[in-house]
Amino acid sequence: MRGINLAFGAACVAAVSFGSPVAAAIQIFPTPGAVQPSENVLANTDLTAGTVFGFTNQTNTSVSILSLNSELLSSTSSNGQARFNTADGTLDAARIFLTKGGTFTQAEFNLFNAQGSTNSVSISVNGGPAQVFALGNGQNFFGFSATGGDAITSISFDTNGTGVTDLRQVRLGGVLAAVPEPATWAMMLGGFGMLGAATRRQRRSVSALA
């Protein structure tokens, strides 16, 4: 748990927007149903590691959940939804991102059931400034929406205490896979060119023997 001394109050009941330029923004909604992402994140079950994985149920995009404090995470499946937790039942800090890169424009998840003295969570989108929200017992839903051409590459959270029981009901929307770098495109095109040249040589050889 990393201590972040930020006041929270109005931010807990209102959407928080940040982004650049002005037309672009990423909003955080500390309430269920504010956004409606189209895909559920399902769990690759029986995994225990510092990073565990799920996948979206429509585009089959791999999603990573990375521990930010060296905890061993585990993933389970429950009623078509993933749950990500730790052996001691106190998930404290983690980051959500697409395993192979890429972006999404909507997200929602539930930081279920604050444990012990935990009563707040710091949330950062795309590595930006953290916003602090209240946590309580039971459901703690957070929704995220990127507009105006903005996009989300990662969402990180860090609680102020021992953590929450688990991260559950993770949903993503507007998933866009990473575009290969120009160098990768060049290698691919070069490979296609070499394949085409080899095919033409083979055809000429066959014609000469006929």
Closest CA to 140 of 40, 3, 12, 27: 12
Tens-digit pLDDT profile for residues 101-116? 999 999 999 999 999 9
In the three-class reduction of DSSP (H, G, I as helix; E, B as strand; rest coil), residue 205 is classed as helix
Reported as a pLDDT band with limits 50, 70 and 90, residue 202 is low
Tens-digit pLDDT profile for residues 25-57? 999 999 999 999 999 999 877 788 999 999 999
Tens-digit pLDDT profile for residues 12-21? 444 555 554 4
Identify the residue with better confidence: 62 or 190: 62
**What are the structural domain ranges in the chain?**
10-179, 180-210
pLDDT value at 173 more than 70: yes
The C-alpha atoms of residue 71 and residue 143 are separated, in whole angstroms, by: 25
* Residue 121 contacts residue 133 (beta carbons within 8 Å): yes
Reported as a pLDDT band with limits 50, 70 and 90, residue 9 is very low
pLDDT value at 187 more than 90: no
Average pLDDT value over all residues in the chain: 83
Domain 10-179 bears CATH identifier 2.60.120? yes
pLDDT of res. 161 = 94
Closest CA to 131 of 59, 30, 20: 30
Tens-digit pLDDT profile for residues 143-163? 999 999 999 999 999 999 999
Where do the H-state alpha helices sit in the chain?
182-209
pLDDT of res. 57 = 94
Tens-digit pLDDT profile for residues 115-142? 999 999 999 999 999 999 999 999 999 9
